[in-house]
Structure 1
Amino acid sequence: MLSKKVGKQLGHPTYSLTGWLVSKFFKWHNQILEENAVKLSNIQPNDTVLELGHGPGFGLQVASQLLTGPRGKLIGVDYSQYMHQMASERMKEQISRGKAVLYYSDLVAMPIEENTVDKVFHCNCYYFWPDLNMGATAIHRVMKPGGIMVTTLRLDSVIKAASMGVLTGDKWRPEVYMEALQSSGFTDVRMENKKERNITFQAVFATALK
């Protein structure tokens, strides 16, 4: 029961003590993943960049510093109202200048035009999507041809969460996620092991083929 409750809060934090604790967990656990997802995306000054499941907005902050060109734009999507409001407060300056826009939205319903996004990144996110194929298709829809998507995760932690019942089913398995990406129109889908500050993590790369 407890593991399911924690898993639910990780996927959809709410205004609650558990939701608040989850936000603190994101800061502690996700910082390296967020920073490296941004770095590995090779963001250029005038790119349009999308972060999915942005949580409190740490990755958005890092990405915004790279979008220095006049056409550089940052988009964030999260279906937790709590996380949306936390990130909106953190990014209020960029939002007021028109450099960032955040949507409180489900991934599949995100109000982003087709073929408009250069780079997409997310971390510790895909295992909470209700349907991997629908999620991957939604991402592919908004990306420009040749656009790059990067996913970061710590597979050892994910395996542990699955063994404890925090993550259920087989959606957490990287190979299942990668199969969904390939079937949705992505190419050059691969996973690489990375290491920083003595922490090993994984990065999944995919290119939007159109």
Structure 2
Amino acid sequence: MTKYKNGPLGPFSGKLGDKVYSSWKNDDVVKDAPEKTTKEPTQRQLEQREKFSLLTAFFSCIYDVIAVGFQAFTYKMTQMNAAMKFNTDIITGVSPNFSIDYPKVLISKGKLNGPIGVKLKCDASGQMKLSWEFQAECDQATDRACILFYDESINDCFIISGIVRREDAALLFFKQHDAIDDLVHVWLFFISANGRKVSNSVYAGNG
């Protein structure tokens, strides 16, 4: 990929010959167009496509969290690409039965102090209690908690952000009545009061 300067008619976008012109991070760039091939994909290539499709579907569903959790890496890549980069080992199983190893999933990466002592308790009524430890001597009480609830059964999520502070050390959540029997995965990370820093996320469990 190479940067180029605008001509007298301004920036150009599209394919011209064997080159593709586009804009990336406010820069005008040009790169070689992909070569067409008539070769059948190998089994390994097919498996990589399956994994990529699975990851894309999952991260697209939780994109609002990804956009915050990987905000520090947007200088050279998108938040989605950063999420893919730091989650290269979360696919388990054998083709065609690939699945996501949710405890390995990282939905946020940053330098803020991360959650410690995280516990998740669930009961048959749909009540979920998430708790963590608050260390007044080294943690900022005003850091905001960002909690992701991901319903694996329907590939949908619910996000709580900005209303719970680190010093609260707990959150009580109730599943919707029609989702009581669904398997819900929970993650937690913290965001600084000014929104500029985040912590690494922690997988709290499921219920």
TM-score by length of 1: 0.26
